Structure 1
Amino acid sequence: MLTKGNKDGSYVVWMSRDEYQVLPREAETFEREVAIRLMGDCGLRVQEVLDVKPKHIQRMSDGEHFELEVVAGKDTTGEYDDGKHRETWLPRDVEATINRYIQEAGIGDDDLLIPRSKRTVQYWVEDAAERAAEETGDEDYHRVSTHDLRRCWANHLLVEENVSPRIVMALGGWSSYDAIEPYLAAPTEENIISSMDSVAL
């Protein structure tokens, strides 16, 4: 886990996918797991998690994959009064987890998945991170915030999976490459070898 301190005493944390996966496993309830996975597996901001309803989940045109409509995403351009709409990738295992949660909790199509406050969701992440620190012995989990889950998602796609920056920008709701640059950690030696081994120089 890579961490960087800010002047205000907060931290920026980059997690590997394996390090991230500990957090949803440490969530105490199904609701908490869903909230964490919406951020860490779908790239939602914490405020966007609070707006998700079952009706926002759609099967894609291939009939096999799913997308999640983000109805009031953050708008940094000032172009939209009600936030910027977008569709983001919803992994099939996350869709299955959400569907089980919907069935067990009796959530209607127009009901909020996570009818909580922003601070409550932030606390859930802090609590899961505390448990992860105890489970793994890695004290850096104490520094993990909700925004680090979105950072982990973006970094994983861009650096580890080599997904096109334009696709990541569209899925995450960024308007420019400059906006996603802070989400990137330096590539690992393994990333460099796998990317450059087949390049003819």
Structure 2
Amino acid sequence: MRCERNKDGSFNVWMTRDEYHELPRAADTFQREIAIRLMGDCGLRVAEVLDVKPVHISRKADGKHYDLEVVSGKDTTGEYAGGKHRETWLPRELEALVNRYCQQHNVDENEPLIDRGKRTVQYWVEQAAEVAAKETGDEDYLRISTHDLRRCWANHLLVEENVSPRIVMALGGWSSYDAIEPYLAAPTEENIIDCMTQVGL
């Protein structure tokens, strides 16, 4: 895990996927796990998590994968009243977890999955990070914020999986390449070896 101190004293935390997976594993309810995974597996901002309803989930044309409609995404351009609409990728495992949660708790398709406030969701991440820090012995978990989950998601796709920046921009709701540039950390040694091996050098 790599931490960068900002001018205001806060930290940007860069996690590997294995390090990230400790957080949803540490959540003590389905609802908390879903909230964490909507940020870390779908790239949602914490405020966007609060608007997710079962009705926003749909099956893609191939019948095997799922879309998650983000109805009030952050709009930095000022062009969209009420926020910018987009669709992002919803992993099948997370869709199954959401479906199970809705059935067990009788969540209507038009009810929010996360019926809490922004600060509560931030607190859930802090609690999961405290558990992860104890279990792993890595105190850097204590510096993790909700935005680090979105950073981890974007960095994983861009750097580790070599997903096209245009796809990541569409899924994450970024309007320009400059907006996602901060999510590009230096590639890992494994990433460099894999890429250079593939090109035969």
Q: TM-score range by the shorter chain?
A: over 0.9
Which amino acid in 1 is paired with 2:75?
A: D
Q: Count residues with an aligned counterpart.
A: 201
Q: Which amino acid aligns with 2:40?
A: G
Distance in 2 between residues matched to 1:70 and 1:179, nearest whole Å: 18
Unmatched segments (≥5 aa) in structure 1: none
Spell out the pairing of 1:1-201 with structure 2 (5 A cutoff). 1-199=1-199
SS in structure 2 of the partner of residue 197 of structure 1: helix
SS at match of 2:198: coil
The Cα offsets for residues 119-149 of structure 1, whole Å up to 9 and x where unpaired, read as 0000000000000000000010000000000
Shift of 1:105: 1.2
Q: Deviations over 1:44-90 (max 9, x none)?
A: 00000000000000000011100000000000111101100000000
Could you tell me the TM-score, scaled by structure 2's length?
0.98
The structure 1 segments of at least 4 consecutive aligned residues displaced by more than 6 Å after TM superposition are none
Q: Distance in 1 between matches of 2:56 and 2:74?
A: 17
- Root-mean-square deviation (CA, aligned residues, Å) is 0.8
**Aligned AA (1:10):** S
Give the percent of matched residue pairs that are identical in Structure 1 and Structure 2: 75
* Structure 1 position 111, deviation (Å): 0.4
Structure 1: how far apart are the matches of 2:19 and 2:200?
34
**TM-score (structure 1 length as normaliser):** 0.98
